[in-house]
Structure 1
């Protein structure tokens, strides 16, 4: 299926009074329907205040699904439906348009269907809606692409995401009936082995594709000719239901979508010494000698990458002579190159990348200052320590939970290694997709 390339237009961020003008050029022949992604993000939350924009692994929660929707290039428009100013700001900064929902559909008792129906009344140009759940941060563009093809290529009216579960379920029974529970999906006398049972398909809430006719005429999100799209368990994360924040962060770091340029395998890591391998403090001896420390967990992480075939180059600045001396010691122990960079690191690093016949997608970069932003944006994977300045944080694809010199480099090396495992998992998801076709 051909994709639609999203191109910003002047009307891109108009409010509900504007029309749903397409934000991308159609390249698919035949199907001329307007397909919109819609993320519902009400400001009220009984459990976690403003949960939809609470930071998860360095990015607002809603930002994970917005990145997947925008990068998929499948949608003519990507929307966030909200009643809160702060959520609106995050949506606009992520490349989405904003539908300011009315008070009538912003109540605790309001349903998703109520809000989507209001959206469709305001934007008659929309023919197909993909309702994406903001609390599903492990969504990837390939999930959306595989599901949409059921509608655009096979004529289905609705498609929703499921995960296969192998759980034996029991129904609770009132005590006065003489029993406390009865089996729902098994015969206790003939319990099947896991390998002999296909399991059950359970909604995971990640997304629901529906046609306008189905929603308006029948009042349904699932109906007509219905299909399901099976997602693997590792991608089926629902913070609303079955997972808490620390566990969710670990799942997202392992299986989340980090952008279209995120590489499957990193071949080169460029790492600043000052502020990344060091913590920014200088110790003075009684004789006046300056000393700085390095965390052994960080250097161990660099060694692991080297053993897996990733080249490591340490970066230092002429403005930091103490870090230069340290980098020489560390490089001797690691057997890696040291490169001195100037006030614009990109100018010094371009020849290095070209000499190795690499693209920026093959490169991981760790910096911690505003001068690093250009390279942080270009690199396939990029990171900053938790104590980096805001400009650097905004340019990075990954924000470490650890500070510079206190395990941030080790954390980033673990993240790089996880991307390789994630690529293998995606190959397995592709196998499921082909099986279900």
Structure 2
């Protein structure tokens, strides 16, 4: 659906289904849903019958109709638009997506299908053939109604790369698609006003280096700083880095950005404060800070921010693990320098 919505040559995306869950997902993605009747939902129903039913249900008669099958997980919107233009420009009446191949095909009986086994030409001496990959079919609506099937008149092939030609026909194909998705799917544009990231493990490799004086250091990448600069130049109002202090890590490190929050669990609090400071953007909802009730000794309650309660005035603060570690470090240095136990 997202590929169709992003294709420049496609005006409307329609999903035909008899499944309410699929229908709701399609609506959320921005597609128009046509409820498919039971007689067209069985295993013997053709795809053409579903397309013709959708056209009748919508009362629409576009010049070109595109059949996209959900068994193809990777579809390039540019390929869809190119195929539509070939029909609109009169180059073809029907266009099918296909994978260029130089494969030699055999029957189970050992006979060559697309070649003579006695003559084995080199790959570079052969013209590619195309394997229909079932991703999409583009056709003139009038021709579909006249012939009742997707192939008629002048048929052309829209080449697609091998990484986009995978069909999901069994569970193994689905596992393969899920494994390849992070490498094949292109990032889609999203509406972002501000980016807030953690520091440890995001702008570092999640390792800490401690010198002989107990000072902690981390390794950062200059490319992260360049990425933040490019983000700001793209029109965003800024990027914030949330830092924190973990037990045994000493003071929070100074970090670039516009938001800061120290202490475990306070990143969300810092992000909420930043959002409140910026104010709601036009067309965006307001920011609501998460609060919870805290019991009072008298049985009442009050609203409090979701962060650790501060100690009462005058109360003795229990030393942090980081403070204890620094004291132990100073004691160890005294032993090494004086040769005895520290006083």
State the TM bucket, normalised to the shorter chain. 0.5 to 0.7
Give the direction of change, closer, same or farther, for the CA distance of 1:99–1:115 in structure 2 (3 Å limit). Answer: same
**For residue 133 of structure 1, what is the aligned residue in structure 2?**
69
Q: Which SS does the other structure have where 1:146 is aligned?
A: helix
Give the direction of change, closer, same or farther, for the CA distance of 1:261–1:169 in structure 2 (3 Å limit). Answer: same
**For residue 185 of structure 1, what is the aligned residue in structure 2?**
114
**For residue 242 of structure 2, what is the aligned residue in structure 1?**
317
Give the alignment's Cα RMSD to 1 decimal: 3.9
Alignment of 1:301-312 (within 5 A): 303=221, 306=223, 310-311=226-227
**For residue 92 of structure 1, what is the aligned residue in structure 2?**
27
**For residue 339 of structure 1, what is the aligned residue in structure 2?**
257
> How many residues are matched?
246
Measured in 2, the distance between the counterparts of 1:226 and 1:324 equals: 70
Deviations 1:68-110 (A, max 9, x none): 1112242232111100110011000100010100000001211
Q: Does 1:143 align with 2:60?
A: no
Alignment of 1:28-427 (within 5 A): 66-127=1-62, 128-173=64-109, 181-240=110-169, 244-260=173-189, 271-273=197-199, 303=221, 306=223, 310-311=226-227, 315-317=240-242, 320-322=244-246, 325=251, 338-341=256-259, 342-343=270-271
Q: TM-score if structure 2 supplies the norm length?
A: 0.61
Deviation at 1:195, TM superposition (A): 2.2
> Which protein has greater RCO, CA pairs closer than 8 Å, 6+ apart?
1
Q: TM-score if structure 1 supplies the norm length?
A: 0.49
| 2:96–2:158 contact (8 Å) kept in structure 1 | yes
List gaps (5 residues or longer) in structure 1. 1-65, 174-180, 263-268, 279-290, 329-336, 350-369, 372-437
- Structure number with higher helix proportion: 1
| 1:166–1:199 contact (8 Å) kept in structure 2 | yes
Measured in 2, the distance between the counterparts of 1:256 and 1:151 equals: 27
Which structure is larger by alpha-carbon Rg, 1 or 2? 2
List gaps (5 residues or longer) in structure 2. 205-215, 230-238, 260-269, 279-286, 289-343
Deviation at 1:311, TM superposition (A): 4.2
Measured in 2, the distance between the counterparts of 1:232 and 1:200 equals: 13
